[in-house]
């Protein structure tokens, strides 16, 4: 009953005029950035971040969360209509969404995508609201070792999901953790890696890392590509309409809906498994186990519903560990965490324990439901207007993004040093993209590094420097074991894969 009461209060807060306005603005921005090729919902939340500095915490987070939600859905329009995946998570929609649009017109696949986004968003939101309190209760029992174990597990999961580039992901994570060490150490007050530069004494601002790596770095990469976007040249303008599938048709693919909703929600909780990974896995599962698996790729509804449910369901899944444990699992939740920190609020179990801040959490949880319904309404009614943004020239879009990144970062502390920092991290972000180093581990490392270090140091002080305490406590031991396994398993898989490839290569030579 407490849950419903708190959620009710959250809904009342969401329907306050200013919060509701921010939600609608967020949904529109999310739709726009996910439709504009080359931008994405991560860029959307980054560009919106400076506007949240002067807001209260609730509208600020509602704005960013609604951008994130709408961003996982908006890209389906360009994918289905023009064969341009707005976001990487929309790629699986090409196989069945675009094919169905070619065969039966775009209205039907767009309708399927809308229904999928609605189901995925609502199911995962309900699941996460139910999970929030138990997760907080578990987190409240965490001691320093457990917290360190949980953070380490989160970070290693992000690394392990880097696929073939495991060593690069690890290097990226280490760089992020080193960046977080810059400045005055909070336990001993010692200056670390400041090299006598006064501005480094305060450490590197999170905003600079986020905006530089994800924002400016991305723009530099696109400049290097000549601001070309795959597929846009051949884009043919189609009539934009959405027609809902019939109940009978939805019932026929109930298996796909249930499977994708469960997988999407569960994977959302796993750090690093963002909307893209979830969308591909949901599609892959359908291809392997669906009754209609042979029809996938030919314009079958399951091929649209599964990835779309997966993408949208992962958002709520990501938000809950961030709110209850303070551990962001994706780039977008890292930005939302930064928004919390900029407002002087540390997400984590204490946020739910305090009645005043619990309202903030339930307001955000309530906003997830309103966001899902709102984005589907916008998708249904206003999409004809929204897709017109495709006509904005890339050079103009590019200039707007760069100016937002630079001035937005300046606005945080009115400091030109932050602009220099952004430029430095922008160049690092570009080099990362160029040499195929994943960006997310570095950013998450920079965000979670201080938290990990504080808990490690506390544990070391409590146990008088005995590091085995991390492994001998039941919960922290299990988490440390899972962290080690999450690195070992993909490493071993890579080695086996490499050995097999080598064998094949040698056989071919013979």
Among 10, 44, 50, 149, binds other proteins (CB under 8 A): 50
Query: Is 393 near other proteins (CB under 8 A)?
Result: yes
Residues 6+ apart with CB under 8 A from 152: 452, 479, 480, 483
How far apart are CB 400 and other proteins at their closest, in Å? 7
Q: What is the sign, positive or negative, of the torsion defined by CA atoms of 249, 252, 256, 257?
A: positive
How far apart are CB 146 and other proteins at their closest, in Å? 18
DSSP one-letter code for 216: I
Burial 409-420, CB ≥16 within 10 A → b, else e: bbbbeebebbbe
- Give whichever of 224 and 481 is closer to other proteins, judged by the CB atom: 224
Among 403, 485, 492, 496, binds other proteins (CB under 8 A): 403
Chain residues 449-508 in contact with other proteins, contact rule CB under 8 A: 452-453, 456-457, 460-461, 464-465, 498, 501-502, 504-505
Q: List, in sequence order, every beta strand (DSSP E) within 89-221.
A: 183-184, 191-192
- Give whichever of 68 and 283 is closer to other proteins, judged by the CB atom: 283
- Rounded to 5 degrees, φ, ψ at 379 are -60, -35
- Give whichever of 17 and 393 is closer to other proteins, judged by the CB atom: 393
**Side-chain half-sphere exposure of 53, counting CA atoms within 13 A:** 13
Size of the site for other proteins (CB under 8 A): 74
> Going residue by residue from 152 to 191, which x/- string records binding to other proteins, judged by CB under 8 A?
---------------xx-xx--xx-xx--x---x-xxxxx
**How many residues are present in the chain?**
510
Chain residues 92-131 in contact with other proteins, contact rule CB under 8 A: 94
> Going residue by residue from 228 to 247, which x/- string records binding to other proteins, judged by CB under 8 A?
xxx-----------------
Among 21, 399, 481, 493, binds other proteins (CB under 8 A): 399
User: Which residues are 183's β-sheet partners?
Assistant: 192
- Give whichever of 57 and 372 is closer to other proteins, judged by the CB atom: 57
How far apart are CB 326 and other proteins at their closest, in Å? 18
Task: Report how far apart, in Å, the C-alpha atoms of 476 and of each of 180, 350, 458, 471 are.
Answer: 23, 19, 14, 6
Chain residues 74-93 in contact with other proteins, contact rule CB under 8 A: 85, 88, 91
Among 107, 223, 240, 350, binds other proteins (CB under 8 A): 223
Chain residues 28-47 in contact with other proteins, contact rule CB under 8 A: none
Measured between alpha carbons, how far is 52 from 207 in angstroms, rounded to an integer? 12
Query: Maximum CA pair distance of the chain?
Result: 73
Token output for 358: 């619990």
Measured between alpha carbons, how far is 271 from 277 in angstroms, rounded to an integer? 11
How far apart are CB 284 and other proteins at their closest, in Å? 11
């Amino acid at each position: 009953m407490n849950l419903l009461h708190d959620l009710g209060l959250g809904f009342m807060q969401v329907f306050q005029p200013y919060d509701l306005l921010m939600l609608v603005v967020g949904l529109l921005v999310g739709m726009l950035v996910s439709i504009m090729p080359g931008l994405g919902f991560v860029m959307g939340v980054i560009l919106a971040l400076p506007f949240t500095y002067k807001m209260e915490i609730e509208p600020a987070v509602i704005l960013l969360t609604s951008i994130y939600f709408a961003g996982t859905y908006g890209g389906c329009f360009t994918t289905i209509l023009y064969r341009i995946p707005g976001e990487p998570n929309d790629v699986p929609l090409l196989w069945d969404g675009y094919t169905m649009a070619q065969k039966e017109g775009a209205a039907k696949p767009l309708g399927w995508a809308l229904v999928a986004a609605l189901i995925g968003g609502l199911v995962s939101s309900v699941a996460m609201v139910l999970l929030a309190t138990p997760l907080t209760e578990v987190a409240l029992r965490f001691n320093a070792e457990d917290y360190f174990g949980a953070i380490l597990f989160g970070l290693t999961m992000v690394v392990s999901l880097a696929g073939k580039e495991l060593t690069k992901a690890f290097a990226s994570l280490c760089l992020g953790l080193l960046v977080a060490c810059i400045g005055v150490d909070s336990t001993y007050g010692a200056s670390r890696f400041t090299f006598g530069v006064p501005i480094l004494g305060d450490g590197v601002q999170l905003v600079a890392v986020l905006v530089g790596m994800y924002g400016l770095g991305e723009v530099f990469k696109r400049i290097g590509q000549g601001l070309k976007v795959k597929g846009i040249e051949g884009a043919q303008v189609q009539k934009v309409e959405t027609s809902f599938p019939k109940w009978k048709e939805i019932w026929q693919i109930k298996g796909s809906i249930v499977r994708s909703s469960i997988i999407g929600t569960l994977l959302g909780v796993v750090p690093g498994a963002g909307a893209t990974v979830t969308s591909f896995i949901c599609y892959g599962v359908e291809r392997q186990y669906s009754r209609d698996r042979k029809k996938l790729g030919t314009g079958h509804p399951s091929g649209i519903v599964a990835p779309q449910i997966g993408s949208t369901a992962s958002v709520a899944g990501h938000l809950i560990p961030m709110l209850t444990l303070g551990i962001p699992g994706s780039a977008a939740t890292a930005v939302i965490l930064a928004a919390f920190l900029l407002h002087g609020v540390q997400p984590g179990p204490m946020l739910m324990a305090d009645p005043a801040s619990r309202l903030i959490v339930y307001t955000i949880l309530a906003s997830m439901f309103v966001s899902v319904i709102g984005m589907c309404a916008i998708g249904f009614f206003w999409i004809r207007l929204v897709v017109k943004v495709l006509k904005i020239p890339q050079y103009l879009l590019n200039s707007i993004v760069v100016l937002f990144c630079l001035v937005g970062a300046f606005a945080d502390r009115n400091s030109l040093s932050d602009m220099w920092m952004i430029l430095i991290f922008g160049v690092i972000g570009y080099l990362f993209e160029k040499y195929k180093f994943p960006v997310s581990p570095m950013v998450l490392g920079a965000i979670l590094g201080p938290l990990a270090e504080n808990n490690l140091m506390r544990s070391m002080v409590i146990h008088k420097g005995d590091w085995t305490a991390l492994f001998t406590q039941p919960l922290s031991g299990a988490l440390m074991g899972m962290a080690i396994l999450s690195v070992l398993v993909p490493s071993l898989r890579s080695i086996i894969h490499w050995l097999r490839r080598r064998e094949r290569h040698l056989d071919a030579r013979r």
